[in-house]
């Protein structure tokens, strides 16, 4: 399972901006990989001794996969949600301004009866 999780985590952790410290960005990724490996090994030993349920191993794998998916696509999803909110606000503002103009045209008769 680590062969699937490691590349999923490596892609977002390897991206750096120009003039950003590449080695500083490497430190959190090393810690994340080491914690993943240690968690998998320790849970594998605990499951083999029957001290923990097999589901704990699955939850750990799913947790790291969810983290990897969030790191890969989280910013895209947040950007799309913000863009949709902005579109909805603009559409609501346009609808309100059109209805306000209609109300002003209907309410002012210009002194004619």
pLDDT at residue 100 in the model: 52
- Residue among 81, 105, 104, 85 at smallest CA distance from 93: 85
pLDDT at residue 71 in the model: 84
> What is the reported pTM?
0.59
- Name residue, tokens 């001290």: 51
| Residue stretches of the chain with pLDDT short of 70 | 20-22, 87, 90-113
What mean pLDDT, rounded, does the chain reach?
A: 77
pLDDT at residue 113 in the model: 47
- Residue among 2, 25, 23, 21 at smallest CA distance from 12: 25
pLDDT at residue 84 in the model: 73
């Amino acid at each position: 399972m680590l062969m699937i999780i490691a590349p999923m985590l490596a892609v977002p952790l390897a991206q750096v901006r120009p003039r950003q410290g590449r080695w500083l960005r490497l430190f959190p990724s090393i810690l994340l990989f080491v914690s993943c490996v240690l968690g998998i090994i320790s849970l594998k030993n605990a499951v083999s001794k029957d001290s923990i349920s097999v589901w704990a191993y699955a939850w750990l794998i799913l947790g790291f996969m969810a983290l990897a998916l969030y790191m890969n696509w989280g910013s895209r999803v947040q950007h799309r949600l913000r863009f949709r909110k902005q579109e909805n606000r603009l559409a609501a503002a346009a609808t309100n301004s059109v209805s306000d103009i209609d109300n002003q045209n209907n309410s002012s008769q210009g002194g004619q009866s």
